[in-house]
């Protein structure tokens, strides 16, 4: 109403313009949740580093970008650190590793295509944010029905608990803030920059995860790899 947010009204062309972003976001969410089930927080953050390399490759292939050597060497150093950290993983779980690598692919593709779609006439950053969330409601709802999560959510006993509802609403608000920040960062920067900036928070997550959760298995090789990246 205040003419602060602008994007085109919904029509069939929106589906064509925004494709395949909604599918990438659904794949990102599903594989992300599945991969965290049997992985410790430090190992999860380590394997997520491959997203940076995949983003750089996809930007070069899809967007035709070129990168200076110093940036390429920096990305390779991050990946090397991740490989060192993962090499002695005593809690190796093939299924979780597969899911998290798929999650890396979906995350990288989402970042690159978000950057690409920002240049599409009529969408803009607000259109991408709104229509992507609007469209993925249907496949997400179907997935939750198929997995039984919808039934669990409906029958959850704490829906009338003030503390839980407050935390749930705060989580929803912060989810919006996160998505808006990602799109805004992609708007002003490259997809690779957005991915690298997002990975900075994982430094704190990795170190905190060593002491919280109780599922981190210490080894000097793993610890060295964590510090490299």
**How high is the pLDDT of residue 212?**
64
| Residue 72 in this model has a pLDDT that exceeds 70 | yes
| Residue 87 in this model has a pLDDT that exceeds 70 | no
Q: Is 42 exposed, middle or buried (0-12, 13-18, 19+ CB in 10 A)?
A: buried
Rounded to an integer, the average pLDDT of 146-157 is 87
The closest alpha carbon to 31, from 115, 109, 88, 87, belongs to: 109
Cα–Cα distance measured from residue 57 to residue 109, given in angstroms and rounded to the nearest whole number: 10
Return the structure tokens found at 154: 């409906």
40 vs 7, more confident:
7
What confidence tens digit (pLDDT) does each residue in 18-68 have? 888 888 888 888 887 777 766 766 667 677 778 888 899 998 888 888 888
**How high is the pLDDT of residue 86?**
64
Percent of the chain with pLDDT over 90: 10
pTM of the full structure: 0.75
Looking at residue 190, the DSSP 8-state letter turns out to be -
| Residue 91 in this model has a pLDDT that exceeds 60 | no
| Residue 215 in this model has a pLDDT that exceeds 60 | no
83-87, 129-133, 163-167, 224-228: range with highest mean pLDDT:
163-167
Rounded to an integer, the average pLDDT of 95-109 is 86
Cα–Cα distance measured from residue 69 to residue 220, given in angstroms and rounded to the nearest whole number: 30
**How high is the pLDDT of residue 4?**
81
Yes or no: say if 219 and 90 are a contact pair by the CB < 8 Å rule. yes
* Phi, psi angles (nearest 5°) of residue 88: -100, 20
| Residue 9 in this model has a pLDDT that exceeds 90 | no
**How high is the pLDDT of residue 163?**
94
209 vs 98, more confident:
98
Yes or no: say if 45 and 103 are a contact pair by the CB < 8 Å rule. no
Cα–Cα distance measured from residue 116 to residue 132, given in angstroms and rounded to the nearest whole number: 14
């Amino acid at each position: 109403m205040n003419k602060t947010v602008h994007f085109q009204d919904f029509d069939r062309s929106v589906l064509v313009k925004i494709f395949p972003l909604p599918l990438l976001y659904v794949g990102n969410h599903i594989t992300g949740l599945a991969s965290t089930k049997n992985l410790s927080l430090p190992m999860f953050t380590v394997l997520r580093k491959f997203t940076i390399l995949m983003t750089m490759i996809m930007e070069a292939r899809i967007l035709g970008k070129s990168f200076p050597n110093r940036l390429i060497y920096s990305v390779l150093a991050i990946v090397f650190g991740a490989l060192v950290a993962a090499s002695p993983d005593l809690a190796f779980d093939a299924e979780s590793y597969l899911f998290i690598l798929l999650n890396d692919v979906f995350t990288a593709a989402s970042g690159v295509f978000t950057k690409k779609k920002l240049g599409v006439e009529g969408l803009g950053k607000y259109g991408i944010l709104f229509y992507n969330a609007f469209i993925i409601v249907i496949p997400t709802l179907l997935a939750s029905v198929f997995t039984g999560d919808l039934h669990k959510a409906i029958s959850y006993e704490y829906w009338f608990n003030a503390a839980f509802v407050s935390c749930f609403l705060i989580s929803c608000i912060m989810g919006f803030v996160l998505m808006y920040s990602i799109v805004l960062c992609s708007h002003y920067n490259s997809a690779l920059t957005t991915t690298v900036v997002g990975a900075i928070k994982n430094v704190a997550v990795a170190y905190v995860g060593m002491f919280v959760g109780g599922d981190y298995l210490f080894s000097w090789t793993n610890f060295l790899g964590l510090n490299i990246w």
